[in-house]
Structure 1
Amino acid sequence: MSINFDLNDLKAFRAVVEQGSFRRAAEAIRITQSALSRRIEKLESALGVKLLERTTRKVALSNVGRAFLPQVERLLDDLDLALLSVGDGGALRTGTLTIACVPSAAYYFMPHAIRAFHGQYPNVRISLLDASANEVSAAVASGEADFGVSFTGNLAPEIEFSPLLEERYVIACRQDHPLARQAEVTWAEAYRHDYISLGKASGNRLVLDRALAGMVVQKQSICEAQHVTTLLGLIEAGLGIAAVPSIAMPLGTHPILAQVALVEPQVTRQMGVLKRRGRTLTPAALEFERLIRLLPGTLPGH
């Protein structure tokens, strides 16, 4: 067989699979849609097979394409790693790195990793998708994100979870709040104060409801929000306290916010890195993962 295609054709094929359409794939690899179509046609012609089934509504892999995809991904990922081992690795790391992250980790935790990464690899642009746990999982599964940072839950079968840290829930309050002077507080005591709760659509709310199923709370929350980051803004405004994961709190001293350990019971969640099974991370993604794995040691209580 005469191999009449190149790496750009393979990248075009992978982009179409990841993006689910020719239009989005063309935008992702920055070529015209007609040029992308020619690359796919060239690849299919060289192989003598149909890799993609195209209809007016969607693009899907053929049976042959489904078997061919893992080999293409492995080849392209191995090439990235090989290029990294020669010459100036930093200079080779260009383009965009897309990371999906739950808002509680995106607010204070992730900026430290982005700052460290940008200092070493200024030519790589970071695209941060701050979204719910379900949306983070979906972004990684579809290939929209290179990897994700989220907590354990109902993950798709094609998602691999790698633990990053186990963190506890704490009370977030203003520094002038009476609880701020305490080393720890029980859940029952915390709920006697004005507090803000998370909505039922929140993944954190599910974790807390399961952990506190036997607790009877007499006082209702004064306000409900969907995201931990919103809770922190409401707390800063003086609307009460809230139970939040410790990763959502600022590192070091904050001019307004304080955190207090929650006990009886101590509730934790496991944060980790989400990857698509069978897919090797790009060199840039591998380096970013290394940086975020260094951060937990700087978190209070870890």
Structure 2
Amino acid sequence: MSINFDLNDLQAFRAVVEKGSFGKAAEAIHISQPALSRRIEKLEDALGVKLFERTTRKVSLTMVGRAFAPRAQRLLDDLDDALLGISDVASTRMGNVTIACVPSAAYYFMPRVVARYHQLYPKIRVRVLDASAHDVHNAVVSGEADLGLSFMGNLDSALEFELLVQEAYVLACRRDHPLAHRDSVTWTEFFQQDYIAVDKTSGNRFLLDQALIHITPARPSICETRHVVTMLGLVEAGLGVTAVPTMAMPTAGHPILISVPLTEPQVIRSVGLIKRRGRTLTPAALELERLIFEMKTA
């Protein structure tokens, strides 16, 4: 039997299966929708079967399509895995991988991971969706993102969480602030300062409110923002101090900012990778996952 289809046709098939629509699939693999339709038609003609039921409202797999989908996925994954394992070939591999990430991890941690990934696989495009914890979860559930990087919360039953690191909240201040050279600062002392807080829409705010329920702030915050990285910018500008998770802080040697441990109590958050339960990651996504765990303490 001659094979009258190619890898592009299989990749188009996989994209439609994952995205659930021809339009979204075409966008994901960067071709026009008519071009994608031609690839699917070519694959169906070559196999002599119908893989999709198409109406104006939805696309669904036929019975034959449902049986073929996992086999096509394994074939593509095995090929990608083999090619990524050959160093001379890996640098020429093309593709996409998407990670949804809370801003507190996206600002200082993820750039180092993406830089290393780009060194290894310069033609694989990494897409970082910086979003709230809630939106990170939704992006992984919907399949918009291969992976999510977020802190533990009320996870959807369709998701699984793998712990990356447990990190403490620290005081972030300018190097010329009176608290900058303290060994530690209590939360009671923190709330006596001019401080900047995240607003109630933030997952960090919910976590802190739960942990500090027995502490009554001496004064309200002077400013509230939605994202941790915005708070750091306000601290740099001299507006006050703030409390952020360790991962959100720049590496040692920052010319303006410094962190001081916050105590009584020490507030910890669990940060990890979120994946859709039962879904096999592509080799490109698996390699990104490996680098994230490798570089978590780098």
* TM-score relative to the length of structure 1: 0.87
| C-alpha distance 82-263 of structure 1, shift in aligned 2 (>3 A) | same
Tell me how many residue pairs correspond in the alignment.
298
Given that residues 53 and 60 in structure 2 are in contact (C-alpha distance below 8 angstroms), is that contact kept between their aligned partners in structure 1?
Answer: yes
| C-alpha distance 157-93 of structure 1, shift in aligned 2 (>3 A) | farther
Query: Secondary structure at 1:93's aligned position in 2?
Result: coil
Q: Distance in 2 between matches of 1:3 and 1:296?
A: 45
Name the residue aligned to 1:190. Answer: 190
With 161-170 and 17-26 compared, the bigger mean Cα shift is at 17-26
Given that residues 136 and 148 in structure 2 are in contact (C-alpha distance below 8 angstroms), is that contact kept between their aligned partners in structure 1?
Answer: yes
Tell me by how many angstroms 1:287 deviates. 2.6
| C-alpha distance 64-239 of structure 1, shift in aligned 2 (>3 A) | farther
Name the residue aligned to 1:36. Answer: 36
Matched, 1:151 2:140: no
Stretches of structure 1 that go unaligned for 5 or more consecutive residues are: none
Code of the residue aligned with 1:222 in structure 2: it is I
Stretches of structure 2 that go unaligned for 5 or more consecutive residues are: none
Given that residues 164 and 270 in structure 1 are in contact (C-alpha distance below 8 angstroms), is that contact kept between their aligned partners in structure 2?
Answer: yes
Given that residues 70 and 278 in structure 1 are in contact (C-alpha distance below 8 angstroms), is that contact kept between their aligned partners in structure 2?
Answer: no
With 150-159 and 239-248 compared, the bigger mean Cα shift is at 150-159
> Identity over the aligned pairs, expressed in percent?
63
Name the residue aligned to 1:111. Answer: 111
Name the residue aligned to 2:275. Answer: 275
RMSD: 2.5
| C-alpha distance 52-151 of structure 1, shift in aligned 2 (>3 A) | farther
Name the residue aligned to 2:259. Answer: 259
Query: Secondary structure at 1:154's aligned position in 2?
Result: coil
Q: Distance in 1 between matches of 2:31 and 2:5?
A: 17
Name the residue aligned to 1:84. Answer: 84
Given that residues 104 and 247 in structure 1 are in contact (C-alpha distance below 8 angstroms), is that contact kept between their aligned partners in structure 2?
Answer: yes
Q: Distance in 1 between matches of 2:136 and 2:118?
A: 22
* TM-score relative to the length of structure 2: 0.88
Query: Secondary structure at 1:156's aligned position in 2?
Result: coil
| C-alpha distance 189-109 of structure 1, shift in aligned 2 (>3 A) | same
Name the residue aligned to 2:8. Answer: 8
Name the residue aligned to 1:233. Answer: 233
Given that residues 97 and 146 in structure 2 are in contact (C-alpha distance below 8 angstroms), is that contact kept between their aligned partners in structure 1?
Answer: yes
Q: Distance in 2 between matches of 1:20 and 1:222?
A: 46
